[in-house]
Chains A and B, each alone.
Chain A
């Protein structure tokens, strides 16, 4: 138990410190790397809670895919840090306001989660008995039976966002020669090669 507590404080401290460094780091690439460290430590926190499925999904989705794309984009862009810093104080009140609103919402959500009528009973009902069913299966059951419709709608929203992003960035440029693999494979020798008798001293 004492090791678990120590591990919790270690991971939590690293998460908070690296989250701070995401904002404070001078180099945007370092910011993204700190963000990855924060993701990784939050996954460790989930593991400590016994939510191994969510921990692994966090690593696969956020560390393995999302952060790679972040890093990719940030490395490609030539971001001037000094220019970014110029408006820092001007935007500080807005940033603080957004932070406060988010914090208040978190408190409200937590309050509603613990104090709403029937919430305690619901929490007890959702938790499967330990050792009988692992939490991958438990999550699957809740998602695909109780919340099937909402789950599908969430998937559709993501699909819509993806199509939107593709439509916004797709440009059909005229005059581009594209490779057509079936055409290349279907080509025969007699279409591609012709034997020509070249007269002496003359060209074709």
Chain B
């Protein structure tokens, strides 16, 4: 088969395959970002006994595209006092870091763009880069509201990354690998083998920290409307704002994906027998992500915003010591079980 040979051996064919793989991840991701915004608004609507968007298209299904088109056609305004280059780069950083992290996420057994050894570290590194988009935006806007929002956000994201780091350490102690596919394979065999049960407190800490990482309620202080107008993206309009918005939702989906891979058995069916195993792994993966995303929206509709000192207290005085203790405990249990 010369065509197969072209795609596996010739450099041009390999390049085409790589680009196709990237598109196969990015396009569904952007579509799910679009529908995540709609689902978010529908869920808040239901919580507040409203209908949510229901005018554009059947059940409001075309609403995200109408919103996207509106953002696209608006005028991009760059404030006269802004640092122009940085002002435009900042939303790109947020958006790109939210997308490139998907390179190592396994959607099904073998369905991963780059199956690298240090996948979990790569995810952690890329998610720690997201803070630059926010902080550069705040500084480049040359506005007090944006700057205060950016400073809050930087402190918040750095604080909660520490506990996320310890959560990752407990997971990789259990699985014995930094490779995400291996971590999922270590959870083979039904819902009771998922790491969310033995590491339940870590799963809770991970979820709450991912709310803080993505600046969602109850930790949406970087853009708290009551005090800071719109926080770090006060000065942004049109597609520059659109990129922040897309990046934020892509980041939410990414952190849910991380939660699914680390704690909820990735592509595995919850029960390892017939009717459940007929469903493809990628569908289970998407369903699990959707479950976590629902909890994201549910939280936003239910819980009021934290005060800033409460946020810092929770991060440094509750989560950090507890996750540190849990790392030591997990390591101890594993060493004991192996008979060292």
Contact = CB atoms under 8 A, between A and B. Distances in A.
Contact of A134 (B117, B128, B165): B117
B121 A68 contact: no
Nearest to A57: B121
Contact of A60 (B128, B136, B147, B178): B128
Interface stretch (B66-74, B153-161, B185-193, B258-266): B153-161
B158 A68 contact: yes
A71 B128 contact: no
A64 B164 CA distance: 13
Contacts of A181: 313
Given A60-B125, A68-B131, A29 B116 contact: no
A136 B177 CA distance: 10
Given A52-B116, A52-B117, A52-B118, A72 B135 contact: yes
A64 B161 contact: yes
Contacts of B151: 72, 75-76
A59 B129 contact: yes
Contacts of B117: 52, 134, 136
A104 to B, nearest CB: 34
A122 B158 CA distance: 39
Contacts of B313: 181
Contacts of A179: 309
Contacts of B155: 72
Contacts of B139: 29, 75
A64 B128 contact: yes
Given A64-B129, A75-B139, A69 B158 contact: yes
- The interface residues of chain A, by DSSP majority, are classed as helix
A136 B136 CA distance: 33
Q: State which size class the interface on A falls in.
A: 20 to 34
The residue among A56, A65, A134 with the most chain B CB atoms within 10 A of its own CB is A56
Contacts of B86: 33
Contacts of B136: 33
A39 to B, nearest CB: 11
Contacts of A63: 125, 128-129
A68 B178 contact: no
B158 A53 contact: no
Interface in B282-316: 309, 313
A35 interface: no
Interface in A70-97: 71-72, 75-76
Contacts of B165: 60
A29 B147 CA distance: 14
Contacts of B124: 56, 60, 64
Interface string B100-137: 00000000000000001110011011001101100110
A72 B128 CA distance: 15
Contacts of A53: 118, 121
A29 B137 CA distance: 13
B129 A71 contact: no
- Give the one of B116, B121, B135, B155 with max A CB within 10 A: B121
Nearest to A53: B118
A36 interface: yes
Nearest to A181: B313
Contacts of B161: 64-65
A79 to B, nearest CB: 13
Interface in A34-76: 36, 52-53, 56-57, 59-60, 63-65, 68-69, 71-72, 75-76
Given A29-B139, A52-B118, A68 B309 contact: no
B312 to A, nearest CB: 12
A72 B154 contact: yes
B121 A60 contact: yes
B316 to A, nearest CB: 12
Interface string B150-187: 01001100100100010000000000001000000000
A56 B131 contact: no
14 contacts: A52-B116, A52-B118, A56-B124, A57-B121, A60-B121, A60-B124, A63-B125, A64-B129, A64-B161, A65-B158, A72-B151, A72-B154, A72-B155, A75-B147
Interface of B: 86, 116-118, 121-122, 124-125, 128-129, 131-132, 135-136, 139, 147, 151, 154-155, 158, 161, 165, 178, 309, 313
Interface of A: 29, 33, 36, 52-53, 56-57, 59-60, 63-65, 68-69, 71-72, 75-76, 134, 136, 179, 181
Q: Which 8 A-B pairs have the closest CB atoms?
A: A64-B128, A56-B121, A59-B125, A134-B117, A60-B125, A52-B118, A56-B118, A56-B125
